[in-house]
Each structure stands twice: as structure tokens, then as C-alpha cells.
Amino acid sequence: MYIFPDHGMPHDRLAANAEDLAFFYETHYGD
């Protein structure tokens, strides 16, 4: 059955994205 594309975003997935982004900036632009 076709599912509407907008599923919502669980908090843990958002947190994983935010943590990896912080690490990305730390490793690429940190001191």
C-alpha cells in the first residue's frame, strides 16, 4: 500500500543527525 511521504521524524533520528553534524564541524573546523 502506498504510504504518504511525510512520516514524521523521531527524536532519536534528529539527535543522531545533530550529533554527527557537531562532530563534522569539530573535526573539519575545530582547533
Partner 1 sequence: MAIKGIFFDAADVFYYRPVPTDDYALNLLKQGGYATELPAEDHVRQQALRSQANSGHLSPDKYWDQFLLMHGVAAPGQRKALAGQIIAYSNHVLAIPGGKEALAGLKQRGFVLGIVTDTIYPLAWKMRWLHQVGVAEFIDVVACSTVLGVHKPDPAIYLNALQQAHLTPGEAAFVGHDAGELAGAHRAGIATVAVNYDPGTQADYYAQSLVDLLNVPIFKKPHT
What's the CA gap between 19 and 12, in Å, rounded? 10
Radius of gyration of the chain (CA): 15
CB of 10 to partner 1, least distance (A): 9
Which residues in 1-31 contact partner 1 (CB under 8 A)? Answer: 1-9, 13-14, 16-21, 23-24
CB hemisphere CA count around 11 (13 angstroms): 0
Cell of 16: 543522531
Q: How many residues of this chain bind partner 1 (CB under 8 A)?
A: 19
CB of 1 to partner 1, least distance (A): 6
Interface residues with partner 1 (CB under 8 A)?
1-9, 13-14, 16-21, 23-24
